[in-house]
Chain A
Amino acid sequence: MRVLWFLASLGFTACMVALWQLASATGMASQIFLPAPSRVWEALMAGFSSGDMPAKLGATTARVFAGWALASLLGVALGALIGVSSRARIYIAPSLEFLRPLPVSALVRIFIGLLGYSEQMVLVVIAFGAFWPCLLSTIYGFSAVEPRLYEVSSVLGLSRWSMIREIALPSALPDIVAGMRVGLTVSLILVVVAEILGSREGIGYNILLAQRSFKSADLFAGIILLGMIGYASAMAINWVESRLVRWR
């Protein structure tokens, strides 16, 4: 039964792609804006067989994951410290809430000013962006821990570190993973911004170059590759999350 649904779903997607091809072939949509899927496929294949697409894909993917990993690590560590202490929450959380709606893309120019058009700049932009959702949901996860658990742990004489590790962390884990998931989405969004504004070689910058030279097939190929990075990483997080839930 699951196979049937999968096939139906695949069939629907295929129909959509066929419609796209048809719209393109009959001239309903301009080839300049909406290249036929066959042309996009050719552009993808050409990029992979002869071009430097693999290197660019590698560079972009590496940036996303390095920035995201750094952000997750710092976000969880700092979030745990703020989340377990009600005093820290009172002093720090409102400032964080105020900064949360700030688009991180607005900070790219500042990071460029500080770090130049460099690889570190891209990494810092991504890490900074992915840091917020992770930090805030970690704080939330730790502050939502059953208060009696904290009481029990102080009665048991646990140190703060072992209390975080043994009691609070497992209980906050679903929130942490949720924050890391949002962080990954943000990383992917920001890698494009940072590559474009920082003129760093990669899939995001490639899309801009394709647009400037009106190579719409290359442009779509780039969008598809970025979508695939997003899809694969979302799947990976889902998998980790389902393992964690089972473990709980």
Chain B
Amino acid sequence: MSQPAPIRPPIRAAWQMRIDPRPFALPLVAIGLAELLALRFVPTDSFSLAAPHQIAVDFVRLLVDGTFLSRTLETLGAALAGLALGGLLGLALGVALGLSEVLDRVTSMTVEALRPVPPTALIPLSLLVFGFGLTMEIAIVAFTTIWPVLVLSRAAVRETEPRLMEVAKVMRMSFGRRLTRIVIPGAIPRIFVAFRLAAAIALIVAVTVEIVANPRGLGYGMMLSSQSLRPAASFAFLVWIAIVGWAFNQTLILLERRLFGDLSRAAR
């Protein structure tokens, strides 16, 4: 599940940054329009829709009383635990398959058969095996994140400079040393990109699992408000989920640039 490269301006130092007002025009117009439409067409006691100002009131309430914070921690915890498990598995498999063409070819059919299984189809299975709770969510996130990490780290390892491998051979480096001194360091920027993409997917999958089945975290908070016919709270959760997702991705992108700078851009 690779994503298209983000559209973003070049990196600037903090003191060079000026906030461009133009991107804010569209959201402001959209919110204003929604407010007008809501005033005209949506009754204040609607069970499915709410006006932006009602959503804003509930947003502040949920933010202040700590509901957002505690639910966000539950969701992020599951997403990160699943990412750690699935990402490490995917990395181990990806490095192994990248190093050995034989292994890669022999396992290709198994990998290609498992990869297209939609993670949401595993929600009922995971529920059957683990019951409600953290474990079933982690299991699904892990299954989902294995594949992007596997595919990208396999590609990264394969592109190890062949001359370096020749040098290693001449120097009679052991397999372990070749792995830790040449293959992994060369592939690190791209492996980080793989983890960044997988992290974004992990968060989406975690929220989805909570919406479909698991009674915890942000997704469940949203479903609960919606089922108790409080659309404003439900929309407030939606806005918060969007903010969390955006902030999470921005943090990862920032981290990537800090750590690897131009290397990671060249790797994309």
Which A positions have Cβ atoms within 8 angstroms of B?
A: 5-6, 8-13, 16, 32-33, 89-95, 97-103, 105-110, 113-114, 133, 136-137, 139-140, 143, 175, 178-179, 182, 185, 188-193, 196-197, 204, 207-208, 210-211, 214, 216, 219-220, 222-223, 226-227, 229-231, 233-234
Q: CA separation between A161 and B110, bound complex, in Å?
A: 45
Task: Assess whether B116 is in contact with A8, with CB atoms less than 8 Å apart.
Answer: no
Check if B170 is an interface residue, CB within 8 A of chain A.
no
Within 8 A of A (CB), among B126-173: 127-129
> Are A92 and B245 within 8 A (Cβ)?
no
A109 touches B226 (CB 8 A): yes
* List of A residues within 8 angstroms of B238 by Cβ: 102, 106-107, 110
Tell me if B212 and A197 are in contact (CB < 8 A). Answer: yes
Contacts of A10 in B (CB 8 A): 109
Q: Which of A13, A106, A136, A207 contacts B7 (CB 8 A)?
A: A136
Q: Which of B204-242 contact A (CB under 8 A)?
A: 204, 207-208, 211-212, 219, 222-223, 226, 231, 234-235, 237-238, 241-242
Q: Which of A89, A106, A193, A230 has its CB near the most chain B CB atoms (within 10 A)?
A: A106
- Contact pick for B223, options A95, A98, A109, A222, CB 8 Å: A109
Tell me, yes or no, whether B181 is within 8 Å of chain A by CB. Answer: no
A208 lies within 8 A of B241 (CB): no
The answer to whether A182 touches B4 (Cβ under 8 A) is yes
Write 24 A-B pairs (CB below 8 A) sorted by A numbering: A5-B106, A9-B105, A9-B106, A89-B7, A98-B242, A100-B6, A101-B245, A105-B208, A110-B48, A113-B47, A113-B48, A113-B49, A133-B4, A182-B3, A197-B211, A204-B120, A207-B121, A211-B124, A211-B125, A211-B128, A223-B125, A227-B118, A227-B121, A231-B113
Chain B residues whose C-beta falls within 8 Å of the C-beta of A208 in the assembled complex: 124
Residue pair B124, A207 in contact (C-beta under 8 Å): yes
- In the bound complex, how far is the Cα of B246 from the Cα of A32, in angstroms? 40
By a CB distance below 8 angstroms, the chain B residues around A231 are: 112-113, 116
Does B114 reach chain A (CB closer than 8 Å)?
yes
Establish whether residues B204 and A90, one from each chain, have CB atoms under 8 Å apart when the complex forms: no
Contact B203 A101 (CB under 8 A): yes
Residues of chain A within 8 A (CB-CB) of B235 are 110
B107 and A9 form a contact (CB under 8 A): yes
B54 within 8 Å of A (CB atoms): no
CB neighbours (8 Å) of B249 from chain A are 100-101
Q: Is B2 in the interface zone, CB < 8 Å from A?
A: yes
Please, how many angstroms separate the alpha-carbon atoms of A13 and B121 in the complex? 21
Does B10 sit within 8 A of A, measured CB to CB?
no
Contact of B4 among A94, A178, A211 (CB under 8 A): A178
Check A103/B241 contact, CB under 8 A, given A189-B118, A204-B121.
Answer: yes
Q: When chains A and B are docked, how far (Å) is the Cα of A98 from the Cα of B1?
A: 19
Tell me which residues across on chain B come within 8 A of A100, comparing CB atoms.
3, 6, 249
Check if B116 sits within 8 Å of A188, measured CB to CB: yes
Among B22-30, B184-192, B256-264, the stretch that binds chain A is: B22-30
Check if B7 sits within 8 Å of A90, measured CB to CB.
no
Known: A90-B22, A91-B25, A113-B49. A214 touches B3 (CB 8 A): no
Chain B residues with Cβ below 8 Å from A136 are 3-4, 7
Q: Are A105 and B211 in contact (CB under 8 A)?
A: yes
Is B122 at the interface (CB under 8 A from chain A)?
yes
Once bound together, how far apart are the Cα atoms of A94 and B95, in whole Å? 35
